[in-house]
Structure 1
């Protein structure tokens, strides 16, 4: 089994599009299935205006346009390199702007979008209340916010927690043995990863959103998905702080492959999905 993935932010894969830290994850069929449940929450028809917030390299933007080619789609992300990859693949089918969730009310006029989508990134939003307030301003009355996350308190099963601990602990040991500058994360576990389903529900209610629908789904994920996940900056930087994220990703992937060769495994992880309306 060889689950090695692209880890360079601009390395060529032989495709016509630039490679990104998220390229392997975008191509993973298990990741596509995880996204499909979110896409099902997005209304289609009547040429809606949609904001794909935290769009990254445009993986979900592309799927949104395939589902509804008539939509007017804007993607926003704080990483210019990822937006470059999104533009290279989607061209003039969508417009892309630099910005994070808290900035959308400064980037766009009020009542601009019928739907706002945050796919697999809400856990990276540091101030959820601020972000929801900004999103509420750019949504039209009756507009819909949909988002999901597989990184929240309760996403991991108790049975699989030792696998994560072994992966990260072994990778850290290898890093130390190679003299890599591993440090403690000053901030500890990012606050977004500590949020619970109830925290999101409470924030939506406090932000004035109504008709909140919450769904949790369990996914069985194999080593290919884990290898792709290891290549992402979020996972690599959190697991091995202080090490260049590309080196960290390679270490994590190498460790994961050795674990799998020793004892093949899958993991079960929950993903939570939210749909809410701005009155």
Structure 2
């Protein structure tokens, strides 16, 4: 790995989870736009769904220390990290978007936030219905995603194809067996911005507003993306996630050494209100 790429990928080693992506500064920039959509108020009750290790929860509290913040995530290990990060500044519960109506009384929150995790929600209708139950009347749902149909710009699609294709050929040459991918892209990645808008309408939300922004991202973002289970498992099915992430990052290094690049990626942001 040359010094130029080494500097750009510093700290972006394969981790087979979402830690590298959460730490990525460019990815954080995508989420900062979302945080600007969270209403400020006098001690608002805010639910951070898919809070992970509490990184976005911490940013929410930094913006408004008066809020009563609750984080929800299905991963007990990540919740432990969130509790260690925030202590008694927030409370946490184990669950997912579809379970929040069982975890909290109706009308408990003024705002519900899903920071770049909506594409991981399998039952979108159930999630929106459950979230609607725990929002106050007039409460706001805020979410974003940089992983949806249309997020990749057409000019960058050949780079993704070359990255995955080269990594697969390398895996085969090293005697690793790739599984046949039956489902193609995960369902969440096949959703469009219009799919989210339609699901909000069906769930009874009002005033849905969507905005798309395009970000220029470097190889560190792509290296962090390669380490996620979502990307590694889809790109190299049948290979352990850690090994798949290593192969993808190795291939990314080779591609960058040959031709330095940046990518453009769209992120969609939604706000909607419970009537």
| TM-score above 0.5, yes or no | yes
For residues 156 and 272 of structure 2, the distance between their equivalents in structure 1, rounded to whole angstroms, comes to 31
Instruction: Determine if contact 1:46/1:70 at 8 Å carries over to the other structure.
Output: yes
Instruction: Determine if contact 1:57/1:82 at 8 Å carries over to the other structure.
Output: yes
Post-superposition CA distance 1:170-196 (Å, at most 9, x none): 111122222233212333211111111
Q: SS at 1:160's partner residue? A: helix
TM-score, with length taken from structure 1: 0.92
Aligned residues: 268
For residues 219 and 155 of structure 1, the distance between their equivalents in structure 2, rounded to whole angstroms, comes to 10
Structure 1 unaligned blocks of 5 or more: 10-20
Q: CA deviation at 1:100?
A: 1.1
Question: Which residue matches 1:5?
Answer: 12
Question: Which structure is higher in RCO with an 8 Å CA cutoff and minimum separation 6?
Answer: 2
Structure 2 unaligned blocks of 5 or more: none
Q: CA deviation at 1:91?
A: 1.8
For residues 132 and 221 of structure 2, the distance between their equivalents in structure 1, rounded to whole angstroms, comes to 33
Q: CA deviation at 1:69?
A: 1.1
Q: CA deviation at 1:210?
A: 0.5
Question: Which residue matches 1:15?
Answer: none
- Confirm or deny that 1:63 pairs with 2:59: yes
For residues 62 and 269 of structure 2, the distance between their equivalents in structure 1, rounded to whole angstroms, comes to 21
Q: SS at 1:273's partner residue? A: strand
Question: Which residue matches 2:193?
Answer: 197
Q: Identify the match of residue 81 of structure 1 among 37, 61, 77.
A: 77
Post-superposition CA distance 1:185-237 (Å, at most 9, x none): 33321111111111111111111100111100000010011111111222212
Larger relative helix fraction: 2
For residues 149 and 278 of structure 1, the distance between their equivalents in structure 2, rounded to whole angstroms, comes to 21
Q: CA deviation at 1:25?
A: 2.0
For residues 87 and 230 of structure 2, the distance between their equivalents in structure 1, rounded to whole angstroms, comes to 27
Tell me which moved more, 89-98 or 148-157: 89-98
- Confirm or deny that 1:249 pairs with 2:245: yes
Q: SS at 1:212's partner residue? A: strand
- Confirm or deny that 1:47 pairs with 2:43: yes
Question: Which residue matches 1:94?
Answer: 90
Question: Which residue matches 1:17?
Answer: none
Post-superposition CA distance 1:67-124 (Å, at most 9, x none): 0111111111111222222222222221221111111111111111111001111111
Instruction: Determine if contact 1:54/1:77 at 8 Å carries over to the other structure.
Output: yes
Question: Which residue matches 2:133?
Answer: 137
For residues 79 and 181 of structure 2, the distance between their equivalents in structure 1, rounded to whole angstroms, comes to 28
1:1-279 matched pairs, under 5 angstroms: 1-2=5-6, 3=9, 5-8=12-15, 21-279=17-275
Q: SS at 2:141's partner residue? A: strand
Cα 1:169/1:125, change in 2 over 3 Å:
same
TM-score, with length taken from structure 2: 0.93
Q: Cα RMSD (Å) of the superposition?
A: 1.4
For residues 107 and 158 of structure 1, the distance between their equivalents in structure 2, rounded to whole angstroms, comes to 42
